């Protein structure tokens, strides 16, 4: 059975001896198939040579699993091979309960990189941030490991300690000590902010829609005069497609939520909301940031395109591709996680690489505003083999964001993006809300420092 996730058949080589039988078949097939069989024969020869000649004995299973994963990850950052153990872990994650640290991670050039920490987990409490690199687990390097292998090292029995070595921009590498827990992502957090409701959704697992409905119902029951809602999708790394559609359905009165389009022009699947808006038209503002990915971007894009919500924050991650998880022999041999389509918003925008741009761009901190102005922010577009946006659009480069906390704003106690979202609700629209002064970005100063560090302008010494 296939399961569509936002985050999946291949030829499997048995060994060099098998290829002797395959080769004659290749002579009777098309040139492309013949080339494929020849390369499979080469693969079998390499496996046999490694088995016979490597300096120490090798584990054939691990060797071939690594080859399968390498083949798939060469296509794009989100395709890959899941061993039977990794497939079980993934199923636990989507069910919304598992043991670990609470991190959504990916791999970039053989280094594990954090997409987002999950709310209320050891990683979030320890201050792990989106964009951090994890270079070692318990002093053992994870450089060059697959994501599945690195995650396996980070998971363990609840209550056990684990130390992550973190590499972060502008700081020296440092260790973070955490205690593993049974991760039960909170599906929804609801409270009132004055006359306005606030609901945060940390992820999209099988319980998300149910918990979101319960949260909104509780707010409205206790506050029948509620004037609007802030829907917080910041640092939401995504999850299940069906949950993205059903969450969007809560706010929309019918119509398209998202479409996915595969290789062929006719390969289009559309997902629609049912009639009935749970909030009966109450104004909504959605908060997003660079950690909002996948399912979170589907929801934000749908509500933006359908003019159901204003979007406040900074441009989202840009993970707009569809991975189909394809179990092999019912999961006994693991599964493939294969990119099979792209996601498009109702207006036909591809989410891939470009992300969802907010109606009102607001940096959370002055440092974040400076970072956005001086360099391209970590996103899906950062991966060198990321799938392109279908319409050929590119992500907005380094620029000064429209708004950032003014002097005197207490960034440790206050939430500037939330304050601006509430201001939009009170004003009635982004156009009507009084704008903050645009932050001054010291681009020249940072550029000069970077140039000096790189040795630009210094005399070049040639060694012969």
For 180-219, the pLDDT digits (tens) are 998 776 678 899 999 999 999 988 988 899 999 999 999 9
Is the distance from CB of 41 to CB of 22 less than 8 angstroms?
yes
Least confident residue range of 143-152, 288-297, 324-333, 379-388:
143-152
| CA distance linking residue 342 with residue 336, whole number of Å | 17
Pairing of β 310-313 and β 80-82: unpaired
| CA distance linking residue 168 with residue 145, whole number of Å | 19
| CA distance linking residue 39 with residue 45, whole number of Å | 10
Beta strands in 233-318 (DSSP E): 255-261, 268-273, 284-288, 310-313
Catalytic positions, written as ranges:
294, 305, 319
Is the distance from CB of 212 to CB of 186 less than 8 angstroms?
no
Second CATH level (architecture) for the domain 98-183: Roll (2.30)
Mean pLDDT of the chain: 85
Half-sphere exposure of 361 toward its Cβ, with a 13 Å CA cutoff?
18
Residues of the chain with CATH 3.90.226.10: 189-427
Class of CATH domain 189-427? alpha beta
Residues of the chain with CATH 2.30.42.10: 98-183
- With a cut of 90, say whether residue 383 has pLDDT above it: no
Is the distance from CB of 369 to CB of 324 less than 8 angstroms?
no
- With a cut of 80, say whether residue 392 has pLDDT above it: no
Which has the higher per-residue pLDDT, 463 or 253? Answer: 253
What pLDDT, in 10s, does the model give residues 22-40? 344 444 557 778 888 899 9
Which residue, 304, 308, 262, is CA-closest to 283? 308
Which two three-digit tokens encode residue 223?
């506050």
Which has the higher per-residue pLDDT, 11 or 290? Answer: 290
- With a cut of 60, say whether residue 430 has pLDDT above it: yes
**How far, in whole angstroms, is CA 48 from its chain's centroid?**
38
Which two three-digit tokens encode residue 129?
């941030």
Beta pairing partners, 137? 140, 164
Torsion-angle region of residue 265: left (phi > 0), alpha (psi -120 to 50) or beta? alpha
Least confident residue range of 4-8, 23-27, 346-350, 397-401:
4-8
Is the distance from CB of 197 to CB of 230 less than 8 angstroms?
yes
Neighbours of 46 (CB within 10 A): 14
Is the distance from CB of 306 to CB of 346 less than 8 angstroms?
yes
| CA distance linking residue 115 with residue 130, whole number of Å | 5
């Amino acid at each position: 059975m296939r399961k569509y996730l936002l985050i999946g058949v291949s030829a499997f080589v048995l060994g060099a001896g098998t290829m002797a039988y395959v080769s004659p078949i290749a002579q009777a097939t098309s040139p492309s198939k013949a080339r494929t069989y020849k390369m499979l024969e080469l693969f079998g020869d390499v496996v046999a040579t490694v088995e016979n000649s490597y300096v120490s004995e090798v584990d054939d299973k691990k060797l071939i699993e690594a080859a399968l994963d390498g083949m798939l990850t060469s296509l794009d950052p989100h395709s890959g091979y899941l061993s039977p153990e990794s497939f079980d872990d993934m199923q636990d994650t989507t069910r919304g309960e598992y043991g670990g640290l609470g991190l959504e991670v990916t791999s970039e050039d053989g280094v594990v990189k954090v997409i987002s920490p999950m709310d209320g987990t050891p990683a979030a409490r320890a201050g792990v941030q989106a964009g951090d690199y994890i270079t070692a687990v318990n002093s053992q390097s994870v450089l060059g490991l697959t994501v599945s292998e690195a995650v396996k090292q980070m998971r363990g029995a609840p209550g056990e300690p684990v130390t992550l070595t973190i590499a972060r921009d502008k700081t020296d590498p440092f260790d973070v000590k955490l205690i593993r827990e049974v991760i039960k992502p909170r599906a929804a957090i609801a409270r009132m902010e004055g006359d306005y409701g606030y609901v945060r959704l940390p992820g999209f697992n099988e319980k998300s829609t149910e918990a979101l409905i319960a949260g909104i119902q509780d707010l409205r029951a206790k506050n029948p005069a509620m004037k609007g809602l802030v829907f917080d999708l910041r640092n939401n790394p995504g999850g299940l497609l069906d949950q993205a559609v059903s969450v969007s359905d809560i706010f929309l009165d019918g119509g398209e939520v998202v479409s996915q389009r595969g290789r062929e022009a006719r390969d289009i699947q559309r997902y629609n909301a049912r009639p009935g808006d749970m909030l009966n038209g109450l104004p909504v503002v959605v908060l997003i940031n660079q950690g909002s990915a996948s399912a979170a971007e589907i929801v934000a894009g749908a509500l933006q395109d359908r003019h159901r919500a204003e979007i406040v924050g900074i441009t989202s991650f840009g993970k707009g591709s569809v991975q189909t998880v394809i179990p092999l022999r019912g999961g006994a041999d693991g599964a493939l996680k294969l990119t099979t389509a792209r996601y498009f918003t109702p207006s036909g925008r591809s989410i891939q690489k470009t992300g969802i741009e907010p109606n009102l761009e607001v940096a959370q901190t002055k440092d974040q505003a400076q970072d956005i102005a001086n360099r391209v922010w970590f996103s899906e577009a950062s991966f060198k083999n990321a799938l392109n946006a279908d319409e050929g659009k590119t992500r907005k480069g380094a620029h000064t964001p429209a708004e950032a906390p003014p002097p005197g704003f207490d960034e440790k106690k206050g939430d500037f993006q939330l304050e601006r979202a509430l201001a939009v609700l009170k004003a009635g629209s982004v156009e009507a809300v009084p704008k903050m002064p645009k932050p001054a970005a010291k681009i020249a100063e940072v550029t000069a420092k970077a140039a000096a560090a790189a040795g630009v302008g210094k005399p070049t010494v040639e060694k012969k």
